[in-house]
Amino acid sequence: MSANGENNSYTKQWLTEKYGALLTMDNLAEVLHRKIGGLRFTLRNPTAELTQKLAPGLITIGRRKSYRVDVIAALIDQVDYPATSTEQEPRR
């Protein structure tokens, strides 16, 4: 990670070149080697680990959900990405 907090990894560069700044659900399923139906099922569960790791990068435009490349790259590279202020603490 660089001094300004950006993840400038090879993974991020590769994903950006192939998909652009945002990944659709289809793109995300392809990158994670998951079936789209299984990925949607997992992401519907708010307590799932994958859902929580992808939450900082979720962008909803209308009904479409997209994910920021930097968050996906951080997940692949196993880098902790800072949480956003819109996240809620899990219920107990």
Banded model confidence at residue 7, pLDDT cuts 50, 70, 90: very low
The owner of tokens 């196993």 is 78
Q: What is the DSSP letter of 55?
A: G
> What domain range is 42 assigned to?
10-77
pLDDT tens column, 43-59: 999 999 999 999 999 99
Query: Of 59, 74, 53, 50, nearest to 22 (Cα)?
Result: 59
| pLDDT score at 78 | 83
CATH number at residue 64: 1.10.10
Number of domains within the chain:
1
Domain assignment of residue 44, yes or no: yes
| pLDDT score at 6 | 52
The residue with greater pLDDT, 2 or 8, is: 8
